[in-house]
Amino acid sequence: MAEILTGTPVVGGLAYGPALWPGERPDHSPEKLGVGVEVAEDGRADEASRFTGAAATVASRLRERASQNTGVTAEVLAATAGLAEDRGWVGAAKGLIAKGSSAEAAAVAATEQFAAVFTKLGGLMAERVTDLNDVRDRVLAELLGLPEPGVPTPQEPSVLMADDLAPADTAGLDPAMTTALVTRLGGPTSHTAIIARQLGIPCVVAVSGLSDIEAGTPVLVDGNTGLIEVRPDDEMARDRVAEHRRHAELVAGWSGPGVTADGVAIAVLANVADGASARAAVDHPVEGVGLFRTELAFLERADEPTVDEQAAIYREVLDAFAGRKVVIRTLDAGSDKPLRFVRHPDEANPALGVRGDRIALAHPEIRTHQLDAIAQAAMGSDVAPWVMAPMIASPTEAANFAAEVRGRGLVAGVMIEVPAAAILAHAVLAEVDFVSIGTNDLTQYTMAADRMSADLAALTDPWQPAVLHLIASVAAAGRDQGKPVGVCGEAAADPNLACVLVGLGVTSLSSAPVASAAVGARLGEVTEEACRAAAQAALDAVDPATARVAAAAVLDGSVEPSVDDGVRRAASR
Ligand code: PEP
Ligand code: MG
């Protein structure tokens, strides 16, 4: 088994190659630096010029390299050159030399003073200590007549490792030859991370045990998980990198619309919160909005926004998706998203309390105003929004809501996020034009596990087979009645789970827009039949981990698809 080291992942991607360490840094031992040897008074001016000369040479070399680069690389090189000429740092060193220090000892002592200050300031300043140490070592090498320290030119594609990398080390790296950066120190905003991002190569920082990896040792670097596999199986590692590259290209090139490999259309939609997020979502390959969480637009409001104010906000979203599908959800206030103007009652258990559509029990006018505002926004716009209510538990609630919505000439739907509504999906669907399954809450309520609880994260996993069974029966009810059944919870953002949902009979998938390309690309790789077989495999599992593995095996083609009559019947209804 390969040894595995862990660190903080800062730039995603996968790379495999031999470890490459930067060349030796100059020896900092007191003898080499001339610590304790006092420079005679008449030699101190020359010693100071030796120091300033070395610092100027280092600065001009760095500036020269800055001029040969562009963008962030040029900026960080110029900033490092600036450090080599920093008046404070040079002044501190000259002050020490004036007291008898050698130029070398002064370079080290002045750097220590500044590094202590930077470290104390913390944050970005602390991360500049590496840059300052790099300048120190370059100046020392210059003073000692040694070659400039830094990264050797790799002979084959390699993984560059270091305690930390300074901009001058990393600037001008060829991403075809340096395929990943891994450091023992550093944080997400260190120069190592900045440069890796610019080069588009994976990067992991703060890896413990890194110093034990010898140059030339093959390593597999996963910039998404932060795992470094030392001496992995060669063939497996190469296959994983090739597969990752192929998939990344596929995702980057996916531009919609959502369709399976055999041509079944599945709308890939965006979840948005207001006009700004809707305008940003348009940059992703989404076909419309599957969930506009209206309550998020009013979290700061002490008073209920007027109908006109609301209409203006809703119109922004409709305008961003002109001519496309937009599903607006009425206020899901309460529980983890209380709204001040709703004046929620004090409740011992707000997740099971007056939340979502239930606020209309005490405040019917809030729902009336909102539906009036949505109708006003729709007037004159070229989107006919679909409107749905959150937290519907019964067919009667669905019928009441649908009457209000249809009374305004709008398309009416409800969310299925309460198990009772999923169980009576046939009766709920009979009252509305569509449903959208909120898997976040459906999982919370099915598993009786607070979605906010980190301790219960294993229970609130959307791959829970019990939740998938409920989704299957809702989708079957939708097929029976020829009505759309979407999913707008986080489950729709997981590419393999999205395929399982399609296999269960779901007709659209809505999630954070950033997830859309990966979901769409995955759908394009698999047939509807494979989705059904993956759904069957997940339904047959007894826990989320088994469901994940079983579905992946079918979707990746390593297991023959088999669909039992139950899913075939449900899916073809
Ligand atoms: C859900 O519950 O899955 C959902 C989409 O609604 P929210 O996350 O806003 O509660
Ligand atoms: Mg919900």
User: Do the beta carbons of residue 242 and residue 222 sit within 8 Å?
Assistant: no
Is 226's C-beta closer than 6 angstroms to any atom of ligand 1? no
- Report if pTM > 0.95: no
CA angle 218/219/224 to nearest 5° reads: 160
- Digit-coded pLDDT (tens) for 262-308: 999 999 999 999 999 999 999 999 999 999 999 999 988 999 999 99
Residue of 203, 488, 499, 531 marked active site: 488
Listed range (142-146, 253-257, 480-484, 568-572) with the worst mean pLDDT: 568-572
Query: Is 511 a pocket residue for ligand 1 (Cβ < 6 Å)?
Result: no
In the predicted model, is pLDDT for residue 208 greater than 80?
Answer: yes
Q: What is the DSSP string of 475-519?
A: HHHHHHHT--EEE-SGGGGSHHHHHHHHHHT--EEEE-GGGHHHH
Quick check: 160 and 207 in contact, CB under 8 A? Answer: no
Q: Whose CA is nearest to atom 8 of ligand 1?
A: 440
What pLDDT digit, counting tens, does each position of 76-133 carry?
A: 888 889 999 999 999 999 999 999 999 999 999 999 999 999 889 887 788 788 889 9
Residue-averaged pLDDT of the chain: 91
The reply to whether ligand 1 has any atom less than 6 angstroms from the CB of 80 is no
CA 41 to centroid of ligand 1, rounded, Å = 76
pLDDT at 128: 83
Write the pLDDT tens digit of every residue in 373-396: 999 999 989 999 999 999 999 999
Give how far Cα 46 sits from Cα of 40, 54, 144, 386, Å.
11, 12, 15, 81
Q: Which atom of ligand 1 lies nearest, measured to the CA of 417?
A: 2
Instruction: Measure 404 CA to ligand 1 centroid, in angstroms.
Output: 22
Q: Of 191, 244, 344, 363, which residue is the catalytic one?
A: 191
> What's the average model confidence in pLDDT over 216-234?
94
pLDDT score for 568: 47
Q: H or E element: which one contains 192? A: helix 191-199
Structural tokens at position 469: 């069974």
Residue positions counted in the chain: 573
149 lines ligand 1 (CB under 6 A): no
What is the pLDDT, as a whole number, of residue 571?
45
What average pLDDT does the segment 219-229 reach? 92
pLDDT digits (tens, 9 = 90+) for 291-304: 999 999 998 899 99
The Å distance, Cα 332 to ligand 1 centre, comes to 9
Q: Which two tokens stand for residue 22?
A: 């930067």
Query: Which backbone phi and psi does 58 adopt, to 5 degrees?
Result: -60, -45
Ligand 1 atom closest to 489 (CA): 3
Active-site residue 499, yes or no?
no
* Residue bearing the CA closest to ligand 1, atom 1: 438
Classified as helix, coil or strand, 422 is: helix
Whose alpha carbon is nearest atom 6 of ligand 1? 438
Question: Residue 193 above 90 pLDDT?
Answer: no
Residue 168, pLDDT score: 73
Closest ligand to C-alpha of residue 329 is: 1
Is 531 an active-site residue?
no
Pocket test for ligand 1, best of 293, 355, 506 (most atoms within 8 A of CB): 293
Query: Distance, CA 489 to ligand 1 centroid (Å)?
Result: 5
**Residues contacting residue 87 through CB under 8 Å, at least 6 positions apart:** none
- 440 CB within 6 A, ligand 1: yes
The DSSP-derived string for 89-157 is HHHHHHHHHHTT--HHHHHHHHHHHHHHHHHHH-HHHHHTHHHHHHHHHHHHHHHHTPPPPSPPPPSSS
Distance (angstroms) between ligand 1 centre and the Cα of 337 equals: 11
Residue 169 has pLDDT above 80, yes or no: no
